[in-house]
Amino acid sequence: MTEQNGYHLKSNGDHKDEYLFDLNLFQSIFKEYSLKDSKLHDNIYDEKYLFRPLAISDYDHGYIELLRQLTECGTITYDDFKKRFNQMKQCSNTYYILVIEDMNIDKQIVGTATLVCEKKFLRQLAIRGRIEDVVVHDRCRGQQLGKLLIDLLTQFARDKCGCYKVSLECKDHLVSFYQQFGYNHEDKQNFLCQRFKHLSTNQQETTE
């Protein structure tokens, strides 16, 4: 970062570091995709929405508020956010959080979806992907933004991360939405779960 007369001029390098994952990796998927999808093409060339990796500065542009439309988030300070962001970034090739920035409304974050990649030994050191935490701002629904997020992340998982399998969990009414991208129930496969009530930040810290 260079500073002249009080202005911060970010070099490309600095800007790249701000993102959770490599912008270039994502852009190549995005370019391919926008060539075949005219709706996406129109949105982008109108400079209406920007699809990009999550940045630390998105804390100030409504990222947490957007997550609150999905589920509870509690109190998350800027320091909490930055710490978790950096923990995710330190897990290389694992967390791919995609966001949609509304370029006309003060860079507000109006959509997000996460791809989490798990490293395995089996299947010759396979990578297993999971789509998590998909949400589009309620004022921006009906514009196919959710569809774009899922399509782009699925293609990213397959082509850039080399996932042999990508899965997601969803409520009944969203099954048909996800089926259009190739996601389906698998025969004789069960998904089981248990929830714990505790959860203090202190407990997490013991394993830091």
Beta sheet of 127-136, edge-to-edge order = 49-53, 95-102, 108-119, 127-136
- Rounded CA-CA distance 154/36 in Å is 16
Q: Which of residues 158-177 bind its own copies (CB under 8 A)?
A: 158-172, 174-175
- Rounded CA-CA distance 125/52 in Å is 28
Q: Which of residues 71-130 bind its own copies (CB under 8 A)?
A: 71-76, 80-81, 84, 87-88, 90-95, 116, 118-127, 130
Q: Which of residues 23-42 bind its own copies (CB under 8 A)?
A: 25
Tell which one of 133, 139, 141, 180 touches its own copies (CB under 8 A).
Answer: 133
In the numeric block, the tokens 């082509």 are attached to 159
Q: How far is the CB of 80 from its own copies (least distance, A)?
A: 6
In contact, 133 and 112? CB cutoff 8 Å: yes
Instruction: Name the residue nearer to its own copies (CB basis): 35 or 91.
Output: 91
Considering only 7-15, 43-51, 102-110, 197-205, which stretch makes contact with its own copies by CB under 8 A?
197-205
Q: How far is the CB of 104 from its own copies (least distance, A)?
A: 25
DSSP letters, 26-81, are HHHHHHHHHHH-HHHHHHHHTT-EEEEE-BGGGGGGTHHHHHTTTS------HHHH
Instruction: Name the residue nearer to its own copies (CB basis): 98 or 168.
Output: 168
Instruction: Name the residue nearer to its own copies (CB basis): 43 or 59.
Output: 59
